[in-house]
């Protein structure tokens, strides 16, 4: 079977290889990958800026979905032929995050999804309802569970509430689509008119083109001076505007750091307004299951801006590095 | 009756005045204050650094307890002679913080407790159980409900959990006493050997004299490398050590800013470890009621480092300004 | 001004009276009622089966909305001309239920909304957004906040979850409309084909005509054998089928007792499946505010099956007593 | 090695057998059991009244602790020689209960702890701190996690709150000890003066000898008419007194059914007072970990009323069947 290996710290170091198909142990399943998706994390891992690494070569990518092939003798959760999506934090089933549960993740330190087949413990796959295509499911594990966790677990979003989402990246577009489907009202900040149109198309109640320093004033106007109930911050750096744009007792999900990883804000403001800032990342399998169910029930189609073939994997990485895309980048096998 | 008025922006501007005793309206009660307590807020209000102000002269102080005198005709919650503590956020009864509920507060913009009697709506007083002396109750509204909220509402503290408390100030000493009583284990950081001894006396499991840059390493050792379940940050500024000292999925209560009000930390760390940072301040009356009940049931004596007479109010403010004290400063009428 | 008085324990004892218009005190507002709505509670209060009563005559009805007339000198929350809905549990602003907060309720022991004008504390009214007509708002306080609380506070409903709603009464229809709007999937049980059609029209994913003993089997089939995430029980009596229809760790909102007020179920089942049964009734003003915001944002029109004029109040009570209606019964002034 | 097998449906059917020692697979550990404990469940399983069964013969008992012997090649969580307690719901690590997570349980359908050694997945054992003796740990998995869950997860117990615990059985004594340690106040109901003395000895604030029908009146007196914050019901049947003894918005943990498994109560009361009734049973491994940490930190010694040797297992079952004991029955190997 074919796979891609990262052999260095550049996109050029991606190498196609031919490897033998693995065989599942008693409690394991073989999954034939049908589609995989990219996240900024994949680029950071490749470039070696993601913290501790295992040595190259390794198979990259954290997101993927496919069809169950052979299964081990003790497997009960799925059968050959079942369509499944893979749980990125492989062994995190449910409950609070722990270091132990979050260590084994696809795409680093475990091998990732950019290979035609892979073996996983049966507990690491989530069966898909008929209504959910494999290509849609493939983009959900990393960005989708982060958006879900920010909106519905941390955010406890209720219909009619007002949410601010920054930008049109992978997490942001899924958050926009999910929050809109759940009948919250969403304001999207963005830097380009094209992306503003895209956000509107996907349900944004209001879009603020964030060229100036005062997008928070626009949020206050949108909320009658009160501030948003929930804000998803993917920009990082100076959080002052994000905090000003959030209501008394409101919630700020800290998700990204496109501008800077060094957060800064005025403690007096956060204390006076009783703000809640939470570091948000992927969730456990139970979140992925809830998300899969919701996406299917809502007939929601996650926004994919570009699709690549398996052979075009390096081009997909280059598109990711350019930062020009909105939503997700998909690789169809 | 006697009162103190703030007439400028210095401690020297405190003036004793003689004013007529106020009379309660139908749903109001007159409370004869027996003791009042000081908080850093009182100094910031006096100096005009606390944000928007009403004009001087005004009666300072936010904390107080006393005995009900005359009551209005519609009053049902208390009777003349009842011993009560006053709710600092006067109209915040219960539930989530809102701007509306938090606006009217004792000591600014409303007149405060440094007067022999004051009139309040009946909903703003909490009756005291016999076991709780007025002088102990007087220190609870501001620092006590902040400590309670950080530990038991935000913190959801369970027995056996490990908590880090910074310093031996008003909130910190009450948090130490309450968390210890609830059988959590508490590590206190402090800068002096004398304060270390005080913390140990009041139940600290471990004390770290925080001279060096690595008190977080001591916390990690104390928690077998895992980090504390809950950390109460009163220092502010660079939060890196506080975040490193907190476990995966742990909670950081942002309470003070002794070092700096400009918070800074690495977003990657907060996101990777799913940390929860919450601005914590006083709670609603329901928190004060729960606190009063707990302090009485636990026979806990809030630590007061110095007591002043009504006439010595300026000296109490000077002691507060010096920053040398631990626990609370009390004025006994 | 005109009002209706209950003077006995039968619908026939309803008497039209002419009374002087009341005047608001300093923190009070006069509201000119535009519409009122009926609840089963009103009938139970009238018949004297609702527990302790104040003596007749009294003004009945708990639900109402109208326009602010004169306001007291200290009023800040609203102005003359503002459109408002009234908070049934008049003094319950936010937070956990307490006996004290729940005692003063409109329609008993306080006078109710079946009068052309009434005086209320300013904290007891909720301003309406332009998008929400007074007649729609008038049906929300009792049935609406109960449905909201069951679904979104107790129920923590997330998009894609599966909810069972019994019948097409006032709470049930609002719950169906709200849950559907929030993109949960709703199964409605009912006893008639006409009501089944009504439920489908208002968004029900599935309707089970509950003639037989096995509606719970239909729920299990609908949920692939797993059981509903949340069930709203308005029937009471033998809860066995409701419990069987609820998933492991699921939630059952106990709302009504149309069949019997004597609940019965097998403890082994509730324990083994870790079920959560919660007595649900109206919520605080904060719930009414959230509901008002959601209904306006979602452009949701609460279902009213019949509308009466002020003069037809006895006919409205008779329609209520017949139990034939779905959704709400409205009185337009 | 030695084991006991259940071969029928009577205590007399317990048979000592000699079986070969099992060997752990790659991710498994062998645990040499040092102590096991009994629960009513064990009797119900033996008698066939616990619902679906696997066929006899099987090894009974759900609770146990011991020392790790050989470990599989992939094991990381523990080493040979580590002292561990076993997680009864073997595969439930954390998070909400699901049917899948709760199916494999020790003592049925899996073999239990009444054998000198057993093999378990490494994820099913919890390492013990030095301060916690194996015999104390052995009684924790079933009764301890149920008590913990009722008090601290469902109950969210805070210091100073008032809890009612029924009787002095296994869950009740542990709940009394834990709640007292966490500085809540506990009222215990019991039927005998000897058990009343035992409850007082272990920290009960008040004991009501429940001969008459009015123990709930005693609770109301103890709580100044308000009702308990939390009540642990192990008696079942008519829950009216339990509901009357619980405060507005209070919580009732449904744990046992000593009187009857057919729960009955008045819905109007539960609805009016917004009571929360939750079926409570064992928790996930994360609860057992929290409990182990708390028991060690608090130096709490779980109350064991009788200890038996491995050979005396049938006598232990007979003691359990008699229902005369308080706290736990232990078998020391």
pLDDT in tens, A210-258: 766 689 999 999 999 999 999 999 999 999 999 999 999 999 999 999 9
DSSP line for B50-77: SSS-PPSPB---SEEEEEEEEE-TT--S
Q: Does C258 touch chain A (CB under 8 A)?
A: no
Q: How would residue D323 be classed by pLDDT, with cut points 50, 70 and 90? A: confident
Q: Is the pLDDT score of B54 beyond 60?
A: no
Helix/strand/coil (H/E/C) assignment for every residue in chain C: CEEEEECCCCHHHEEEEECCCCCCCCCEEEEEEEEEECCHHHHHHHHCCCCCCCCCCECCCCEEEEEEEEECCCCCCCCCCCEEEECCECCCCCCCCCHHHHCCEECCCECCCCECEEEEEHHHEEECCCCCCHHHHCCHHHHHHHHHHHHHHHCCCCCCCEEEEECCCHHHHHHHHHHHHCCCEEEEEECCHHHHHHHHHCCCCEEEECCCCCHHHHHHHHCCCCCEEEEEECCEEECHHHHHCEEEEEEEEECCCCCEEEEEEEHHHHHHCCCEEEECCCCCHHHHHHHHHHHHHCCCCCCEEEEEEHHHHHHHHHHHHHCCCCEEEEEEC
Using a CB-CB cut-off of 8 Å, the residues of chain D touching C270 are: 254, 263, 277, 279
Residue from the list A77, A100, A284 with its beta carbon closest to the beta carbon of D95: A284
Question: How confident is the prediction for chain C on average, in pLDDT?
Answer: 95
Q: Which of A209-223, A310-324, B271-285 has the lowest mean pLDDT?
A: A209-223
In chain A, residues with a C-beta closer than 8 Å to the C-beta of D100 are: 77
Q: Is C301 an 8 Å CB contact of chain A?
A: no
Q: Please say whether the beta carbons of C208 and C219 come within 8 A.
A: yes
> pLDDT band at D321, cuts 50/70/90?
very high
Mean pLDDT of C176-204: 95
CA dihedral B236, B241, B244, B250 (to 10 degrees): -30
pLDDT tens, position by position, C75-123: 999 999 999 999 999 999 999 999 999 999 999 899 999 999 999 999 9
Which pLDDT score, from 0 to 100, does residue A212 have?
Answer: 64
Q: Is the pLDDT of residue A2 over 80?
A: yes
Whether the CB-CB separation of A185 and A163 falls below 8 Å is answered with yes
pLDDT at res. A49: 79
Give the DSSP H or E segment for B248: strand B246-254
Could you give the angle at which helices C313-322 and C40-47 cross, rounded to 10 degrees? 100
Mean pLDDT of C133-138: 98
Which pLDDT band, with edges at 50, 70 and 90, does C48 fall under? confident
Q: Answer yes or no: is pLDDT of B34 > 70.
A: yes
**pLDDT value, residue D326:** 92
Residue C184 has pLDDT above 60, yes or no: yes
Judged by CB atoms closer than 8 Å, whether chains meet at B158 and D152 is answered as: yes
Put simply, the answer to whether A270 touches B255 (Cβ < 8 Å) is no
pLDDT in tens, D247-304: 999 999 999 999 999 999 999 999 999 999 999 999 999 999 999 999 999 999 999 9
Average pLDDT over residues D213-229: 93
Supply the pLDDT for residue C271: 96
* Interface C:D, Cβ pairs < 8 A: 112
Is the pLDDT at B315 greater than 80? The verdict is yes
Q: Is the pLDDT of residue B296 over 80?
A: yes
Q: Which of C27, C93, C283, C287 to mutate to test the interface with B (most CBs of B within 10 A)?
A: C93
Predicted local confidence at residue A52, as pLDDT: 55
User: Tell me, what's the pLDDT at B48?
Assistant: 84
Range B20-32 average pLDDT: 96
Do A113 and A61 form a contact (C-beta atoms < 8 A)? Answer: yes
pLDDT-derived band at D12 (thresholds 50, 70, 90) equals: very high
pLDDT at C213 > cutoff 80:
no
* pLDDT(C54) > 60: no
pLDDT in the model for residue B212: 64
Please provide the average confidence, as pLDDT, over all residues in chain A: 95
Q: Is A79 helix (H, G, I), strand (E, B) or coil?
A: coil
Lowest mean pLDDT among B91-100, B216-225, C29-38, C209-218: C209-218
* Shortest CA gap B295–chain D (Å): 8
**Quick one: closest CA in B to C95, which residue?**
B95
Beta-carbon contacts below 8 Å between A and B: 110
- Tell which wins on pLDDT, B314 or D192: B314
Which chain B residue lies closest to A226 (C-alpha atoms)?
B99
Q: What is the pLDDT of residues D86-134, one digit of tens each?
A: 999 999 999 999 999 999 999 989 999 999 999 999 999 999 999 999 9
Tell me what ipTM this predicted complex has: 0.94
Predicted local distance difference test score (pLDDT) of residue D55: 66
3-state helix, strand, coil in chain B (%, to 5): 30, 30, 40
What is the mean pLDDT of the segment spanning C61-84?
Answer: 97
DSSP state of A21: P
Give the relative orientation of helices A313-322 and A40-47 as an angle to the nearest 10 degrees: 100
Residues of D in contact with B295 (CB under 8 A): 160
Q: Smallest Cα–Cα separation from B203: which of D297, D158, D161?
A: D297
Report the mean per-residue pLDDT for chain B: 95
Residue B324's pLDDT is what? 87
Tell me the angle at which helices B40-47 and B313-322 cross, rounded to the nearest 10 degrees.
100
How many whole angstroms separate alpha carbon B15 and alpha carbon B1? 14
Nearest by CB: B254 against A271, A279, A280? A271
Residue of D268, D151, D162 lying closest to D206 (CA atoms): D162
Q: What is the nearest CA distance from B252 to chain A, expressed in angstroms?
A: 10
Chain C CB contacts of A159 under 8 Å are: 152, 178, 181-182, 294, 297-298
Dihedral class, residue A256 (left if φ above 0, else alpha if ψ from -120 to 50, else beta): beta
Give the pLDDT band (50/70/90) at residue D324.
confident
Per-residue pLDDT reduced to its tens digit, B61-70: 999 999 999 9
Mean pLDDT of A174-191: 96
Residue C320 has pLDDT above 60, yes or no: yes
User: Lowest-confidence range among A68-82, B203-217, B267-281?
Assistant: B203-217
**How far is the alpha carbon of A55 from chain D, nearest alpha carbon, in Å?**
21
Per 3-state DSSP, what percentage of chain D is helix, strand, and coil (rounded to 5)? Answer: 30, 30, 40
Any chains having at least 3 CB pairs less than 8 A from chain C are A, B, D
Average of pLDDT values for A39-49? 90
pLDDT over 60 at A137, yes or no: yes
pTM of the entire structure?
A: 0.95
Query: Mutate which of C152, C156, C159, C206 to test chain A, going by most A C-beta atoms within 10 A?
Result: C159
| pLDDT at residue D194, as a whole number | 92
């Amino acid at each position: 079977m074919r796979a891609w290996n990262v052999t260095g710290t550049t996109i050029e170091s991606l190498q196609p290889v031919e490897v033998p198909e693995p065989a599942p142990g008693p409690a394991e399943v073989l999954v034939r990958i049908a589609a995989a998706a990219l996240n900024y994390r994949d680029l950071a891992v490749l470039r070696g800026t993601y913290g501790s690494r295992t040595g190259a070569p390794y198979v990259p990518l954290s997101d993927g979905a496919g069809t169950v092939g052979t299964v081990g003798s003790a497997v009960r959760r799925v059968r050959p032929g079942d369509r499944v999506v893979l749980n990125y934090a492989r062994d995190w089933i449910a409950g609070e995050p722990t270091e132990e549960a979050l260590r084994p993740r696809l795409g680093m330190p475990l091998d990732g999804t950019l290979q035609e087949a892979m073996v996983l413990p049966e507990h690491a796959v989530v069966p898909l309802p008929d209504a959910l295509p494999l290509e849609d499911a493939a983009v959900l594990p990393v960005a989708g569970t982060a958006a879900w966790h920010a909106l519905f677990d941390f955010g406890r979003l209720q219909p009619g509430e007002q949410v601010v989402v920054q930008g049109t990246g992978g997490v942001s577009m899924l958050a926009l689509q999910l929050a809109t489907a759940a009948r919250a009202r969403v304001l999207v900040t963005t830097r380009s008119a094209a992306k503003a149109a895209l956000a509107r198309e996907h349900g944004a109640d209001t879009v603020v083109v964030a060229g100036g320093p005062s997008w928070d004033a626009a949020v206050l106007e949108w909320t009658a001076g009160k501030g948003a109930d929930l804000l998803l911050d993917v920009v990082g750096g100076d959080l002052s505007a994000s905090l000003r744009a959030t209501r008394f007792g409101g919630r700020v999900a800290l998700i990204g750091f496109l501008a800077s990883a060094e957060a800064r804000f005025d403690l007096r403001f956060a204390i006076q307004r009783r703000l809640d800032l939470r570091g948000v990342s992927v969730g456990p399998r139970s979140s992925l299951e809830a998300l899969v169910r919701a996406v299917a029930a809502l007939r929601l189609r996650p926004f994919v801006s570009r699709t690549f073939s398996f052979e075009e994997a390096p081009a997909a990485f280059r598109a990711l590095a350019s930062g020009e895309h909105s939503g997700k980048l998909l690789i169809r096998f």
